Amino acid sequence: MAIKEREIIELLKKTGALLTGHFKLSSGLHSDQYFQYALVLQHPECVQRLGEGIAGEFKDKGITCVAGPAIGGIIIAHEVARALKARCIFGERVENGKMVLKRFKLEPQDKVLIVEDVITTGGSIKELIDIVKATGAIIVGVGALADRSSEEIDFGYETKALIKLKAKTFNPAECPLCKKGDPLIKPGSRR
């Protein structure tokens, strides 16, 4: 059964995952809202429901592997993989900041779904797509819990997010929250 937007918002509110304030996103942009998905992802019953929702969007694609970028995409990718009865891998950053498949191997016959918690600029997803393509594996789509991008991002593959969230984002040099002197919070995984 598909998960409804109303149910997702309730899960976010219930777990404190939807925050307001002045935030520096991992993309470097500033925002008035932050979706701290770690707070919802710490609850297995919530992750199961959200993972099943993403898996349902891609259930007939013959997926053999789900790949997520570390760190935000690992938990939800794992749950999507469980729902699809596929294996799960993740890309991780090495010392120079480059994302790699350090611990895992893909084969050309693998059908891979890329999964992320939140799409903002799509940078981590694009990096992971390039890594998976370089292995010769077949990418079948991109799934996410939320799409909070300011503009439509074309990854070149079918993309499904459970929810589209519109938070305002600002270039740091033009950020009205900075100009007001609001304290900047850096909650993401890249500081």
| Tokens linked to 161 | 């997010």
Among 81, 77, 171, CA closest to 128: 77
Cα 36 to Cα 108, 169, 187, distances in angstroms: 35, 16, 8
Kindly list the distances between the CA atom of residue 143 and the CA atoms of 64, 112, 118, 168, 188, in Å, as whole numbers in the listed order. 15, 11, 9, 22, 20
Measured at the alpha carbon of residue 118, what is the angle toward residues 186 and 31, in degrees to the nearest 5? 40
33 CB-contact burial (10 Å; exposed 0-12 / middle 13-18 / buried 19+): middle
60-77 per-position pLDDT tens digit:
999 999 999 988 899 999
97: Cβ contacts below 8 Å, ≥ 6 apart? none
- Per domain, the residue ranges of the chain are 5-180
Q: How many percent of the chain have pLDDT more than 70?
A: 97
Fold (CATH) for 5-180:
Rossmann fold (3.40.50)
C-alpha closest to that of 1 among 77, 82, 55:
55
pLDDT given for residue 82 in this prediction: 98
pLDDT in tens, 138-177: 999 999 999 988 788 999 999 999 999 877 889 999 999 9
What CA–CA distance (Å, rounded) separates 173 from 178? 8
Q: What is the pLDDT of residue 1?
A: 57
pLDDT tens per residue across span 83-129:
999 999 999 998 888 999 999 999 999 999 999 998 988 999 999 99
At residue 191 the predicted structure's pLDDT band, cuts being 50, 70 and 90, is very low
Neighbours of 188 (CB within 10 A): 18
